[in-house]
Chain A
């Protein structure tokens, strides 16, 4: 796509739109760009053709509700997890469940493929289980102070960060013992590794963020957010960390100085709490979505006003970029899934 700079504007060019039967709780674009999977909070999962031209495939999902989705790197399989305590690996061609995995608790929170795709991690209750390609459990990590809220594979490695009350624990798929315990008194809600793997950021229930920088001995805390922080996104250079926790997008700049002791970039235009943030894979545009039903595109560090925006229908629940950075998929609280092209002008 053409370069976007501070003098640019972008247009949101509606592409297609479809409906689920409930709040879009998970939204994922397949790595090959061909499909978009969306889950309704009440359970239904639909796999859409990204072009919008082929009818979607509906998967039964999870009886009590689906909580999370993740595409396998090869884009043929989709993992889901839900409140029936199960994780399921689906073959998206046939719509059949390939593996049905017992997560060990009644409420499955996250399912996430390792970067190589050889391991699936599931988080349910205090348990994190790792499964191999045959659906066989290879590890169980249980040393967590509370229900696991989020998990995140460190880019390019088999290291898995597990966030719960009390900070985060770094495990490895090749070891039964934790690699590192990142202790913090507080409740971690969301984890996000910088793309170079040097910094792990954690959004907290107590309206703050913590980050552990591999180059520094102690974690840092950034506070002053109006509410809990669940929206985190790193840019491609691991230089900017965009955070939510309120109506204003707060962007911390990582560099030789800071972010400790620096003033963050503040991007304000939303009229209600932010719900989701996503940076492009190879571009610099940050997309933000909020309870106000608005999606905005930003160029943090270069421009304070939005590049452009889109008013949706309901409160935005998720935004994901297409792998080629040309499109945004947007989910909302009414069950709508929209795909829109981001066109520089």
Chain B
């Protein structure tokens, strides 16, 4: 079914714990979209009543099938109610389904792919999760439901921001982002949000499978920190104290241009440099700018000093395997300690080892279709239960078009998209799931390259 002519009625699923504000959001949708006919399926009579002509109560009946396959788990109540709604002559422009805080979004999403009747008439548009920014902390660690509602979401509203300090919000956002890197996160008070951020988001639309903010697709970097220094010709010293490791990798690259594009290109060069073999430098060793990777070996005790030789004035970026603070490391010009003009950290500050995480993979080149099928088939068979969402664009050897896909658990939906044309053929995909093995996924995916 092509999305060009998709006239199916869009469905938005609202999830979130009782009291998160999802009923307020629902009322807001109904008020602001008053010209449209919206059917509401409600599973929980929450803190705010819904004043609407068509509210249908449902019972969250999860049906597991005889084959025991989790992807066949569907919501019987939705099949019954939506099946009936779709028969009516007065069609709806939009359908919203409000679930309880205890609902598993998996069967809700799967219902739209497992039932031919619903699939014909309805299009799952997105899962919107409302998070109570003040109280979600209590649930993030030990509630599977809370974790899954975040993991499945296309849009996450961090609500009640007025009750939380900005620093705590930043922490919360970083944590939620680490769990679900594909979701758009908005901070709200009273769930005030532009309607086009929650409706018609195309979360399950293949055409929009890669409309993920590139920064959300950050790969796992081999370095944790970079700093930009403005240096004149001469000899500088990189001084390191004792730290958690006996050595640290680093490279120094000249930066041409200071715009985002130049920085991004530089980061790519650094990634490539870090994939090379390193050469050891000890006390007094010389670190020169260029695409060679140094392993800075520390003295057993006390400070270790490395020389940095600059021949041409300009901006230089130092990439380090660990954060310099862990080694009390800094660049000196004589006695003067130099501050970096611009620094960046490449790993979010993980306070928790999240059970639920996102694994993004970006790899240039073409894939061997057969290897890919075998790997993906096996992956979904063995880990499909733990993979909540996936989406991406693939470059298949011998195919002129991009291959776009998205999936929920073991359900896989994919097709060729537009031709690559002049665009660099590459693969960019994201998995969101529980207990994902990042290194293994990356390694196995790379093994599918032609």
Listed in ascending order, the chain A residues whose CB lies under 8 Å from chain B are 21-23, 25, 41-42, 65, 67, 83, 106-107, 125, 146-147, 149, 165, 184-187, 204-206, 208, 221, 226-228, 273, 317, 333, 335
Contacts and interface: CB of A to CB of B under 8 A. Distances in A.
B342 to A, nearest CB: 57
Contacts of A184: 66
B289 interface: no
A186 B61 contact: no
A125 B65 contact: no
Nearest to B59: A147
A185 B68 CA distance: 9
Nearest to A226: B116
A210 B116 CA distance: 20
B64 A185 contact: yes
Contact of A165 (B57, B61, B81, B116): B61
B89 A206 contact: no
Contacts of A147: 59, 61, 76-77, 80
B87 A25 contact: yes
Given A147-B76, A206-B72, A228-B116, A42 B65 contact: no
Contact of B115 (A25, A41, A228, A335): A228
A221 B67 CA distance: 12
Given A147-B76, A186-B65, A187-B63, A65 B89 contact: no
A7 to B, nearest CB: 36
Interface string B108-129: 0000000111000000000000
Contact of B65 (A22, A67, A149, A185): A185
23 contacts: A22-B89, A41-B87, A42-B90, A65-B84, A67-B84, A83-B84, A107-B80, A146-B59, A147-B76, A185-B66, A185-B68, A186-B66, A187-B65, A187-B74, A205-B65, A205-B115, A206-B65, A206-B66, A206-B72, A228-B116, A228-B117, A273-B117, A317-B87
A41 B82 CA distance: 13
Interface string B338-358: 000000000000000000000
A147 B76 CA distance: 8
Contacts of B63: 146, 165, 186-187, 205
B66 A125 contact: no
Given A184-B66, A186-B65, A41 B84 contact: yes
Nearest to B80: A147
B126 to A, nearest CB: 25
Given A187-B76, A221-B66, A125 B59 contact: yes
B64 A42 contact: no
Interface in B21-77: 57, 59, 61, 63-68, 72, 74, 76-77
A149 B89 contact: no
A106 to B, nearest CB: 6
Contacts of B66: 184-186, 204, 206, 208, 221
A126 B117 CA distance: 23
Given A165-B63, A187-B63, A206-B65, A41 B76 contact: no
A315 B48 CA distance: 40
A105 B65 CA distance: 25
Contacts of A146: 59, 61, 63, 76
Given A187-B65, A221-B66, A42 B88 contact: yes
A281 to B, nearest CB: 28
B79 interface: yes
Given A206-B67, A208-B66, A23 B89 contact: yes
Interface in B323-350: none
Contact of B76 (A22, A23, A205, A317): A205
A65 B54 CA distance: 12
In the complex, which of the residues A106, A208, A228 has the most CB atoms of chain B within 10 Å of its own CB atom? A228
Contacts of A22: 87-89
Contacts of A21: 89
A165 to B, nearest CB: 5
Contacts of B79: 205
B216 to A, nearest CB: 36
Contacts of A206: 65-67, 72
B89 A335 contact: yes
Given A125-B59, A227-B116, A228-B116, A23 B88 contact: yes
Given A165-B63, A228-B116, A106 B84 contact: no
Contact of A106 (B57, B61, B74): B57
A125 B81 CA distance: 12
Contacts of B64: 185
A41 B88 contact: yes
A41 B84 CA distance: 8
Contacts of A41: 84, 87-88
B80 A149 contact: yes
A317 B86 CA distance: 13
A166 B68 CA distance: 13
A28 B74 CA distance: 31
B91 to A, nearest CB: 11
Task: Please give me the 7 A-B residue pairs with the lowest Cβ-Cβ distance, nearest first.
Answer: A206-B65, A227-B116, A187-B63, A23-B87, A186-B66, A146-B61, A41-B87
A228 B76 CA distance: 12
Contacts of B76: 146-147, 149, 165, 187, 205
In the complex, which of the residues A23, A206, A221 has the most CB atoms of chain B within 10 Å of its own CB atom? A206
Contacts of A186: 63, 65-66
Nearest to B119: A227
In the complex, which of the residues B59, B88, B89 has the most CB atoms of chain A within 10 Å of its own CB atom? B89
A273 B116 contact: yes
A204 B74 CA distance: 13
A208 B72 CA distance: 13
B440 to A, nearest CB: 32
A125 B60 CA distance: 12
B420 to A, nearest CB: 34
Contacts of A165: 61, 63, 76
A203 B402 CA distance: 40
Nearest to A335: B89
A242 B74 CA distance: 26
Given A42-B89, A146-B59, A205-B79, 16 more contacts: A21-B89, A22-B88, A22-B89, A23-B88, A41-B87, A42-B90, A65-B84, A67-B84, A146-B76, A147-B59, A165-B61, A165-B63, A205-B76, A206-B66, A228-B117, A273-B116
Contacts of A273: 116-117
Contacts of B61: 146-147, 165
Contacts of A335: 89
A206 B68 CA distance: 11
Contacts of B67: 206
Contacts of A106: 57
Contacts of A333: 87
B74 A205 contact: yes
